[in-house]
Structure 1
Amino acid sequence: MINLMDMTGRNVMVTGAAQGIGLHAAKLLHELGANLTLVDTNAGTLAQATASLDAQRVLAKAGSVTDRGFVEAVVKEAAARFGGVHALVNNAGITRTAMISKMTPEQWQAVIDVNLTGVFNCLQIAGADMVHRAEAGDKEPGTIVNISSDAGRKGTVGQINYGAAKSGVLGLTMSAAREWGRHGIRVNSIAYGVVATEMTEVVRSEKFRDKYLANIPLGRFLEPDEAVKAIAFMVSPASSFITGQHLSVNGGSHITA
């Protein structure tokens, strides 16, 4: 039987890989046969996260996506070890919650730096590796999945920095898809609703739970191992003619024509 999501021999770079969506994505892609280049700021957590994976197929590097020199070094090492970065899951992100009137410039900038500029850094640098291989004749040079959020499509209270960054990710996705399509490079985004991770503990607390669930037609929050199936689809050959799109994975909490 043909497995349309087989990733054997392909190297996938995942940022924010030590926990949450990034970690679950790494584990699923590993099971699908992918080699992995895993990035996170927390070296200890990253080491624990990768302990159960095949060390021969994993390159784990601790550092920040806001550091261009670090990202360049990771992509160079990954290309030397695995033959290139064949897919990028641009997942690293943080939150700094505050109402607009109380948000400090530091809170604003910290989220923009990681969630938008960091996404650009990884997209530009990993994308350059893909373009280089395309120009050398590689017919499947790569695919990029940028992790966005419903916050970037409909706004969110108390997180104007996060909403602005995630909206910006949608623009990055569409522009890169148009610019790099001629090289055969696909660029898409996934906009999640409420995923049951540490980042959404407050939203899923007793105080807010019923309010959020009332807006989700499927009536439940999204589990991480379920959420990452969309990532596996988007980086796999199964989505070979999809680019410049925003896939909503939210149980119907945001429905548009």
Structure 2
Amino acid sequence: MHKEAFMVELVSLKDRTVVVTGAGQGIGEGITRLVIELGGNVVAVDRNEETLKKLGSELPAGRLMPAVADVSDPEAAQRVVAQAVERFERVDGLCNNAGITRPAMMDKMTVKDWRDVLDVHLSASFFWSQALGQHLIARAKAGDTKGGSIVNISSDAGRKGAIGQVNYAAAKAGILGVTMTTAREWGKYNIRANSICFGVVETPMTEVIRGDKFRDKILSQIPLGRWSTPDEVVKAVCFLLSDAASYVTGQHLGVNGGYHISL
């Protein structure tokens, strides 16, 4: 068997349905495209209807279910998962990817900016995990042993802090706790939960830290000496969603060019 064909089979997501939040652009879009390339279906969740329409025009309609929703709304999580089950009969995975930034130094940060970031990153990860988990647990209790996989997108900021982004760092640190608790509580149902801590990925969200003011200092702390691309990091997400990671749970995978170890 050709090596490349073997690797695609190893991380196959054939006939799997995965919910991806923040699917309209950047890393979320990359995850969506790769899941479909690997044979899966995607429930693409985003608050921007236009980006979802564009995505839908470029991907197979039978494999993509666009869902316009505010990820911080717990009712939206329940509704979209129910609609996905109705459309595809089952949902097998989730990537909590949606995110925003509202930078400010701690002494100047507003309560709104604090709450908005925690709502979109941390609370949303809980709401969508809970909605999918209830579906997966019900299936397990009915005798289905296939389980499922949840991948939460964290960040190195959650492990070492981030100057000017205490809200983001706190949310990403909280996601690590959500991940480990999910793995502990739901392992008996064969539900796996892992997180990925990205370093600096070339997306609109990282434009400031990749700019002239911070570029050289940050690059000097990355052993690989470069930023990563969305296409490069989404492969790790699909690995954790697939059966190739069937015995991996409660882990925090750094996909960061060695940024974390440089401290």
User: Shared fold (TM-score greater than 0.5)?
Assistant: yes
Q: Deviations over 1:190-220 (max 9, x none)?
A: 0001000000000111221111100000000
Give the C-alpha shift of residue 156 in structure 1: 0.5
Instruction: Report what 1:234 is aligned to.
Output: 240
Which of 153, 160, 180 is the matching residue for 2:159?
Answer: 153
TM-score by length of 2: 0.95
Give the C-alpha shift of residue 255 in structure 1: 2.0
Counterparts of 1:113 and 1:219, CA distance in 2: 33
Which of 32, 39, 60 is the matching residue for 1:33?
Answer: 39
Question: Secondary structure at 1:255's aligned position in 2?
Answer: helix
Q: Does 1:218 align with 2:224?
A: yes
Which of 53, 60, 65 is the matching residue for 1:59?
Answer: 65
Instruction: Report what 1:134 is aligned to.
Output: 140
Give the % identical residues. 53
One-letter amino acid of the structure 1 residue matched with residue 240 of structure 2: M
Instruction: Report what 1:165 is aligned to.
Output: 171
Map 1:95-134 onto structure 2 (within 5 A): 95-134=101-140
Instruction: Report what 1:187 is aligned to.
Output: 193
Instruction: Report what 1:42 is aligned to.
Output: 48
One-letter amino acid of the structure 1 residue matched with residue 141 of structure 2: E
Counterparts of 1:144 and 1:50, CA distance in 2: 24
Give the C-alpha shift of residue 157 in structure 1: 0.5
Instruction: Report what 2:205 is aligned to.
Output: 199
TM-score by length of 1: 0.98
Counterparts of 2:259 and 2:130, CA distance in 1: 31
Counterparts of 1:151 and 1:85, CA distance in 2: 30
Q: Does 1:19 align with 2:25?
A: yes
One-letter amino acid of the structure 1 residue matched with residue 25 of structure 2: Q
Mark the runs of 5 or more structure 2 residues left unpaired by the alignment: none
Question: Secondary structure at 1:247's aligned position in 2?
Answer: strand
Which of 169, 174, 199 is the matching residue for 2:180?
Answer: 174
* Aligned Cα root-mean-square deviation (Å): 1.0
Give the C-alpha shift of residue 141 in structure 1: 2.0
State the 4+ residue runs in structure 1 displaced beyond 4 angstroms. Answer: none
Question: Secondary structure at 2:184's aligned position in 1?
Answer: helix
Q: Deviations over 1:3-33 (max 9, x none)?
A: 1111111101000000111000100111000
Mark the runs of 5 or more structure 1 residues left unpaired by the alignment: none
Question: Secondary structure at 1:28's aligned position in 2?
Answer: helix
The count of residues paired between Structure 1 and Structure 2 equals: 256
Counterparts of 1:243 and 1:22, CA distance in 2: 21
Give the C-alpha shift of residue 136 in structure 1: 1.3
Give the C-alpha shift of residue 84 in structure 1: 1.6
Counterparts of 2:212 and 2:47, CA distance in 1: 31
